[in-house]
Amino acid sequence: MSHDHHHHHHHDDVANIKVAFFLNLAFTLIEIVGGVLTNSVAILSDAVHDLGDSLSLGLSWWFGNKAKAQPTPRFSYGPKRLSLLAALINALVLITGSVLVLSEAIPRLWAPQMPHAQGMIWLAILGIAANGAAVFRLKGAKTQNAKVVSLHLLEDVLGWVMVLAVAIALLFVDWPILDPLLSVCYMLFILYNVIKNLWNTLLIFLQATPDDLDLKVIEEELRQVNGVADIHQLHAWSFDGESHVLTAHVVADRQLSPDNYAALKVALAEICQRHPISHTTFEIEYVDESCRMAHRHEHSH
Ligand SMILES: [Zn+2]
Ligand SMILES: [Zn+2]
């Protein structure tokens, strides 16, 4: 029963993300048109950001449904790594959008054009309302995914508050440079985060050892297990930045009885439980046995 209960909430979250996706997508289109009509590059910066949001909401909606998919012979790990692909697509779209808006905003720093402040104010109010409504829809969300989205939407409300502040200022003072200034600052902030995320995504794709796993410490702990003579071919990588995989060859110092063999596996499992590892594969070897992989990793010994 608790299982069904959990699924019920999960389904609600997926439905909420779906609504947030359509709200965001509609709003992104309004912003692009509104940004052009009000001649405001600050609004266009927000449009790029919201385009990225729409994409990631759409993709997390899709994954929310896809998460239940079973592994297949071709994709034996199931859909786990799809979120990496989504992060990559999202980063490329955001970088393209940011470069386009910056190429419009940077020249305006030297030749500012007065935007229509009144129109900006209406768009900012709409932005605060739309993002606020999405935050409200996700309130009380149970999944980590929905919580992250919710926090992000709250940041977006703050972004719109800044657009509103600039627009109100422009009603009273003739400083059109405020608009490209806000735009450039916003785009640089977005690019900084995108490049940081892109770098982390690439590290995961390249199967770098996850930051929260210290292979030296793990190797030391594995070597301490009673009956272990050596550890080699120790590898760790991450599916998606959260679920990590560890594989190793474990050399037993003597022939193992079935009981000793079981005890060894329990000891290895206990060590893995101390670290954020979700998948493990160990190959057991004996000291008098030559490693099948030896010729492939001689240089690492
Ligand atoms: Zn956002
Ligand atoms: Zn080996």
pLDDT band at residue 143 under the 50/70/90 scheme? low
Same domain, 17 and 90: yes
What is the extent of the structural domain holding 144?
2-205
Highest mean pLDDT among 34-38, 59-63, 65-69: 34-38
In a domain, 152, yes or no: yes
In a domain, 99, yes or no: yes
Same domain, 92 and 224: no
Same domain, 29 and 153: yes
Same domain, 32 and 116: yes
Same domain, 296 and 195: no
Whether the pTM exceeds 0.85: the reply is: no
Ligand nearest to the CA of 130: 1
Structure confidence at residue 5 (pLDDT): 42
Same domain, 70 and 183: yes
Structure confidence at residue 136 (pLDDT): 77
Ligand 2 center to 265 CA (angstroms):
17
Structure confidence at residue 85 (pLDDT): 85
Structure confidence at residue 86 (pLDDT): 84
Q: Is the pLDDT of residue 6 over 80?
A: no
Ligand 1 center to 123 CA (angstroms):
15
For the stretch 241-294, pLDDT in tens is 888 999 999 999 888 888 989 999 999 999 999 999 999 999 999 988 888 887
In a domain, 147, yes or no: yes
Amino acid found at 254: R
Ligand 1 center to 46 CA (angstroms):
8
Query: How many residues does the structure list for the chain?
Result: 301
For the stretch 150-168, pLDDT in tens is 777 777 888 899 999 999 9
Same domain, 67 and 137: yes
- Of 138, 171, 205, the residue that ends a domain is 205
- Of 205, 239, 258, the residue that ends a domain is 205
Ligand 1 center to 8 CA (angstroms):
27
Ligand 1 center to 147 CA (angstroms):
13
Same domain, 268 and 288: yes
Ligand nearest to the CA of 94: 1
- Of 162, 181, 205, the residue that ends a domain is 205
Same domain, 200 and 230: no
In a domain, 14, yes or no: yes
CB-CB contact of 131 with 26 (8 Å): no
Ligand nearest to the CA of 235: 2
Across the chain, mean pLDDT equals: 86
Q: Which residues have C-beta under 5 Å from ligand 1, the single-atom ion?
A: 53, 156
Ligand 2 center to 252 CA (angstroms):
11
In a domain, 28, yes or no: yes
E strand or H helix at 22: helix 2-38
Ligand 1 center to 65 CA (angstroms):
22
What is the C-alpha to C-alpha distance for residues 264 and 37, in angstroms, rounded to an integer? Answer: 70
Q: Please give the tally of structural domains in the chain.
A: 2
- Across the range 15-38, mean pLDDT stands at 88
In a domain, 112, yes or no: yes
Ligand nearest to the CA of 46: 1
Same domain, 82 and 18: yes
In a domain, 111, yes or no: yes
Tokens of 140: 């009380």
Ligand nearest to the CA of 158: 1
182 conformational bin, left if phi > 0, alpha if psi -120 to 50, beta if neither: alpha
In a domain, 210, yes or no: no
Same domain, 29 and 122: yes
Q: Is the pLDDT of residue 17 over 80?
A: no
CATH of the domain at 242: 3.30.70.1350
Same domain, 148 and 86: yes
